[in-house]
Structure 1
Amino acid sequence: MAKPIKTILKWAGSKVRIIEQLRPHLPKSKRLVEPFAGSCAVMMNTDYEQYLIADVNQDLICFYNHIKDNDNGFISTLKQLFIDANNKTVFIKRRNDFNCDLWHSDPFLMLCIAYYRSSLFLYLNRHCYNGLCRYNSKGGFNVPFGRHKKPYFPENEIVAFADKARNADITCLEWQDTLSLVDFNDGVYCDPPYMGSGFTQYHTAGFSDADHEALASALKDINDIQGNPITVSNSPEATELYADLGFTIHEIDAPRTISATGNRKPAKEIIAVLEGVK
């Protein structure tokens, strides 16, 4: 069995380590729609003809689109940030650069230097604590320095992503807007911030229990009205929510790759499935 393809970014809840358990439950369709892009582990480890990859995190989507549009030039820019830069002083400076208010207040500057800011996004991800992506209420990236011995530069993963992304539309949208684009022949896979996880600030908007309920209901409606197959990953806390809506629930053991407490023992997860209706 071939090893799973690793992702460019470290990411809380990345599906790389459970892809073999997840793959049999993914929708059977020509195009896969993902409203929560995250690390893009599912796209990298499946073979749909087309993908619609979306996320509310604009930094994440800009980063992916820069790779898609110019992987070779972007790799050169990224590499420069990894040279002799694994120390706290450089990290804090670059995190401050990334959080500079000018990015948000000056559209022209944001357009001109967005390439550099996307480069900083990878630098911060690979040099920060546990590879977390976390923002404060003002939109500032606030993860501390990680003290890694030798941060990995994911060149092979960037090249593989650029190749895969040729068949993908990658866009920054709220999940509600992404679901409005689901066509009759699409399959949908959702990997939202997990219910009860306590970690929802991968974007300033967060993700509440009310959001979970709204998402589950919206997915049920899509299945009822259009017949699209639906797959959702979540924590066991979401079992009742999805079971009450008629989803088939599969429970799996998932290795922890990021843990604030240092606990790396496998955790229970669910895969909730609604079959497509033809």
Structure 2
Amino acid sequence: MNNTTKPNNLAKPFLKWAGGKTQLISAIEQHLPQHISAIKDLTYIEPFIGSGAVFFWFVQKYNIKKAIINDINTDLINVYKVIKNKPEKLIEKLTQLEREYYALAFEEDRKNFFLEKRSEFNVKSDKEIDNAAFFIFLNRTCFNGLYRVNSKNLFNVPFGKYIKPKICDAQNLLATSKLLKNVTILNGDYTETAKHANKNSFFYFDPPYKPISKTSSFNAYAKDNFDDEQQNKLAAFTEQLTTKEHFWLLSNSDPKNLNPDDLFFDELYNKPANTILRVKARRMINSNAQKRGEINEILIMNYPIKML
């Protein structure tokens, strides 16, 4: 999967995503295993793919023999599979949605169109192309590009009031389809990804974040919340990977942003092989613009790093 694509044709994330990792890539790159670029037959595994910012960057930069991506969100994984296997049909449907949306001159009409497509999406028909197109359309037109569902697994993010958002990026969808051609796409529990690991595997974990304030819970993106118990189970899973000598790196929000005495992750990942770092990031998604700003995020890894 070594990149031979021209730089201006590189695939990039096709979704807006709360907690997307584009801004963390520089910090992640600085803290990868030493000599990772020299590892032969490297397998990249991302158990919580989301919008895939790190995946897109990693597999186009390093010499990857195999890549596995996974997510519990069936609707999201359907989008990846449709882009991989039927990009032209998806582009056709998205072009139609974009044309119809742009033709609406008034905000109320655009909102009604959005709500109509949100309802159609929530019906969950067996039309994989339509479902994928609605997913992308809603992502580009909903409030702040959030993905959130209620206890009935119904998408419930409100209208975003955008006049002319980019709904169909045909060039990027085709580049992404090409990139995904040899990627294994899974839809299940993250622990299942371990079956695809080998001696030269690197795992990147971007789980639903622990909320950084009492009101900023963006982790209800599947009907079952990723609570503290789930964070504990994930930590136990990473220990299993360490025992098997697989490299892994995990990112999460820093609870100390809210409470300086909160050592949740420091205590949870306090293992001999692990290193815990705090790096600066910007919180871009908040309904109150004054609350957007620089915060700490946590990087945890199970291998030695060169301290900068």
The reply to whether TM is greater than 0.5 is: yes
**Any stretches of 5+ residues in structure 2 without a counterpart?**
1-6, 103-109, 256-263
The equivalent residue for 2:129 is: 115
Any conservation in 1 of the 2:43–2:197 contact (CA below 8 Å)? no
Q: Distance in 1 between matches of 2:166 and 2:224?
A: 30
* 1:183 pairs with 2:198: yes
Match of 2:160 among 123, 141, 146: 146
| Shift in Å, 1:250 | 1.8
The structural deviation recorded for 1:254 is 1.1
Say which of 22, 26, 30 aligns to 1:24: 30
Asked if the contact 1:127–1:151 (Cα under 8 Å) also holds between the matched residues in 2, the reply is yes
Aligned partner of 1:83 in structure 2 is 99
C-alpha distance in 2, partners of 1:169/1:186?
A: 14
Show the counterpart of 2:71: 55
Structure 2 CA distance for aligned equivalents of residues 229 and 56 of structure 1: 22
CA offset digits 1:71-94 (Å, max 9, x no partner): 223212211111131610100111
Distance 1:49 1:91 in 2: 41
Instruction: Say if 1:164 and 1:181 are closer, same or farther in 2 by CA, change over 3 A.
Output: same
| 1:220-277 residue CA offsets vs partner (Å, 9 max, x unmatched) | 12111x100010001223531454123201211112232233322022101101028x
Partner of 2:271: 245
Query: SS state of the match for residue 181, structure 2?
Result: helix
C-alpha RMSD of matched pairs (Å): 2.0
The sequence identity of aligned pairs, in percent, is 31
Q: Specify the structure having the higher radius of gyration (Cα).
A: 2
Residues 1:159 and 2:170 aligned together: no
Give the counterpart letter for 1:25 in structure 2: H
Question: Could you list the per-position Cα deviations for residues 39-98 of structure 1 after superposition, in whole angstroms to 9, with x for gaps in the alignment?
Answer: 011121113332100000000000011000122232122111111316101001110111
Counterpart Cα distance in 1 of 2:287 and 2:209: 15
Structure 2 equivalent of residue 266 of structure 1? 294
CA distance in 2, matches of 1:201, 1:145: 18
Q: 1:242·1:272 contact (CA, 8 Å) conserved in 2?
A: no
Contact 2:68-2:196 at 8 Å conserved across structures:
no
Shift of 1:117: 1.1
Give 1:129 deviation, angstroms: 0.3
What CA distance in whole angstroms lies between the structure 2 residues aligned with 1:192 and 1:9? 17
Counterpart for residue 106 of structure 1:
none
Task: Name the SS for the 1:97 alignment partner.
Answer: helix
Question: Relative to 1, partners in 2 of residues 1:26 and 1:170: Cα closer, same or farther, differing over 3 Å?
Answer: farther
Q: Is the 8 A contact 2:205 2:250 kept in 1?
A: yes
Letter in 1 for 2:148: R
**Which one is further off, 24-33 or 167-176?**
24-33
Q: 1:159/1:264 Cα in 2 relative to 1: closer, same or farther (>3 Å)?
A: farther
**Residue type of the alignment partner of 1:116:** D
- Find the counterpart in structure 1 of residue 51 from structure 2: 39
Structure 2 SS opposite 1:45: helix
Residue number in structure 1 paired with 2:117: 94
Provide the C-alpha distance between the structure 1 equivalents of 2:96 and 2:267, rounded to a whole number of angstroms.
47
The code of the aligned residue for 1:89 comes to: N
SS at match of 1:203: coil
CA contact (8 A) 1:200 1:206 kept: yes
Give the counterpart letter for 1:34 in structure 2: E
Q: CA deviation at 1:180?
A: 4.0
Matched, 1:171 2:190: no
C-alpha deviation, 1:11, in angstroms: 0.4
Instruction: Output the CA distance in 2 between the equivalents of 1:135 and 1:13.
Output: 16
Partner of 1:64: 80
Equivalent position amino acid for 2:287 in 1: A
The residue type paired with residue 99 of structure 1 is N
Answering whether residue 232 of structure 2 is matched by residue 213 of structure 1, we say yes
Instruction: Report deviation, 1:5.
Output: 6.2
The Cα shift of 1:123 comes to 0.5
**Counterpart Cα distance in 2 of 1:26 and 1:73:** 38
- Aligned-pair distance for 1:151? 0.8
CA distance in 2, matches of 1:275, 1:25: 9
Question: Which has the larger displacement, 226-235 or 20-29?
Answer: 20-29
**Are 1:235 and 2:253 matched, yes or no?**
yes
- Partner amino acid, structure 1, of 2:18: A
